[in-house]
Amino acid sequence: MNSRNTSWRHRLTWTLPMVAVLAGCTGGEPDKPKTHALATYSSATWEALPAVSDADLVAGFGSWRSACTRLKADPVWGSTCAAAASVPQTASEIRGFLKQNLDVYGLRAANDNPDGLITGYYEPVYPGSLTQTDVANIPVYGVPEDMIIVSLDSIYPELKGKRLRGRLEGRVLKPYDDAATIETKGVKAPVVAWLTDPMNLQFLQIQGSGRIQLDSGRQLRIAYADQNGHPYRPIGRWLVEQGELKKEDVTMGAISNWAKANPARIPELLGSNPSYVFFTQNPDSNEGPRGSLNVPLTAGYSAAVDRKVIPLGSLLWLSTTKPDGSALVRPVAAQDTGGAIAGEVRADLFWGTGEAAGQLAGDMKQQGQIWMLWPKGAALPQVPQVADAKKNP
């Protein structure tokens, strides 16, 4: 999955290195903008954590431990994972293990505010076909044959994880087509399947993976394969800017209802998000979709995070509410990422597969707090610096 918008990298321009070179050639030292850490970690005691039920503790720990197969060689989590393998799945044993091996850190925004945004995502199931029909005529594209991908950190280590995507025109690498162009002109890519509704394709791209219900009864599983290199822009934001929805009313259901009432404007809506996700077919399975750690996600106990703040594989303590206002306090595993999941105190909780999970995920836009449980003695993550907001004169 690489969840939901998974691994949606923001496009960088080729001019970035040249700008750095030219800046170094100037005669004077320009005023450096003031910066602050994207997030900070505040040391806390175990007693400061809100209480969780035994059932949630066991489930959350199990979700985290399921990724230890991918973390056994990790310099931070490797030894903790090895020790966790023999811990019985009982609340008392798990509590003892966590307190013995992990320290507690509260996530804080730049202004030392512990509150952040907790949203949800899920694995949708949409009707479709393996062949184009009169009804199923919306292509789900695989990775384009003519898309070039450049890993920038091979030359600039400080750009670790950053990639440039484009198409060669002669000897020049140009940005790859944006979503509106792909929707209008198509793309030189295999078609994984066909859907019946363009909005289903958009929501599938936002979630990052899903299932396609075929007439035969089979559910075809597809997952994120790559992206066109353009930045993700929420279509809900466009509806707000157009005065079609109020910001507080933006949910997946509200967007769907607007699209049904305004079918002629759907291309305009979809074109407002230049990002486009390409998919691959996964083996049939009843397990959860795989996140960025390449392990099946656990409904209610796996989360997508901003890996600049929370390293993948981390165990988190989440305190928030469900859309109905009921408390939701539990440990969750940081096993996924997403282009829209960025910021200081931020997480996207995976709710499972199908319509009921989609309702929860679509309505979830809650305030919450996050604590990170971190191996004792391990250095805390190095959080990048970001520029301070400019003040109006």
Report if residue 325 sits inside a domain: yes
Task: Count the neighbouring beta carbons within 10 Å of the beta carbon of residue 176.
Answer: 23
Nearest-CA neighbor of 119 among 353, 384, 318, 354? 318
Q: Which domain holds residue 355?
A: 41-121+290-375
Segments in the chain below pLDDT 50: 1-29, 393
Cα torsion 330, 336, 338, 343: sign: positive
Tokens of 73: 């060689």
In a domain, residue 102? The reply is yes
List, in sequence order, the alpha helices (H) in the chain: 15-24, 54-65, 68-71, 78-84, 91-101, 179-185, 198-207, 235-241, 252-261, 266-271, 355-363
Please give the distance of CA 180 from its chain centroid, rounded to a whole number.
Answer: 22
- 378's tokens: 């391990």
Which amino acid is located at 379 in the chain? A
Q: Taking phi first (over 0 means left), then psi (-120 to 50 degrees means alpha), and beta for anything else, what does residue 325 get?
A: left
* The predicted structure's pLDDT at residue 27: 44
pLDDT confidence of residue 300: 97
State whether residue 248 is helix, strand or coil.
Answer: helix
Can you give the CATH number for the domain in which 112 is found? Answer: 2.40.40.10
Interstrand relation of 116-123 and 365-375 (parallel, antiparallel or unpaired): antiparallel
Nearest to 309 by CA among 367, 372, 366, 364: 372
> Per the domain annotation, does 354 fall within a domain?
yes
Q: Is residue 79 assigned to a domain?
A: yes
- pLDDT, residue 36, reads 63
Domain assignment present for residue 221? The answer is: no
Contact criterion met (CB below 8 Å) for 343 and 116? yes
Q: Is residue 74 part of a domain?
A: yes
Determine, yes or no, domain membership for 175.
no
Domain count, the chain: 1
Q: Look at residue 110 in the predicted model and tell me its pLDDT.
A: 75
Total H helices, total E strands in the chain: 11, 19
As a three-state string, the secondary structure of 193-205 is EEECCHHHHHHHH
Q: What are the C-alpha distances in Å from 17 to residues 20, 23, 126?
A: 5, 10, 43
Is 297 inside a domain boundary?
yes
Task: With beta carbons less than 8 A apart as the criterion, state whether 330 and 52 touch.
Answer: yes
